[in-house]
């Protein structure tokens, strides 16, 4: 049984992770901080946005895949996938712009 719904959201969230990783690399290049954060608040926010997504996305995708394999409804699976994807995109954007409360956080 193919995991077509899980694969869709794995791809979308993979793109989000790549964008967040690119932001970390770009900030590292600009600040010339190659290890850690060097006390740079922007780099710390970029790193946490990426790390937070890397921490949550895999387990949620595994759970969505388990639901898909168990025959859960497509509406439920898409609802969870959309919530994950929107949540990760908004969180990454919000944390990249403010370390306090912001839209997406």
The three state secondary structure string of 21-58 is HHHHHHHHHHHCCCCCCCCCHHHHHHHHHHHHHHHHHH
What is the residue range of 55's domain? 4-97
Per-residue pLDDT tens for 38-68?
A: 999 999 999 999 999 999 999 999 999 999 9
Number of domains in the chain: 1
**Is 72 inside a domain boundary?**
yes
**Is 104 inside a domain boundary?**
no
Per-residue pLDDT tens for 20-41?
A: 999 999 999 999 999 989 999 9
Note the pLDDT of residue 104: 58
Per-residue pLDDT tens for 79-102?
A: 999 999 999 999 988 887 666 666
């Amino acid at each position: 049984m193919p995991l077509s719904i899980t694969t869709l959201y794995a791809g979308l969230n993979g793109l989000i992770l790549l964008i967040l990783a690119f932001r970390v690399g770009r900030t590292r290049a600009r600040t010339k901080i190659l290890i850690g954060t060097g006390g740079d608040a922007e780099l710390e926010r970029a790193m946490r946005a990426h790390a937070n997504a890397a921490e949550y996305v895999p387990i949620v995708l595994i759970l969505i895949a388990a639901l898909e394999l168990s025959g859960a409804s497509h509406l439920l699976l898409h609802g969870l996938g959309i919530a994950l994807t929107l949540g990760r995109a908004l969180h990454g954007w919000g944390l990249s712009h403010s370390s306090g409360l912001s839209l997406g956080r």
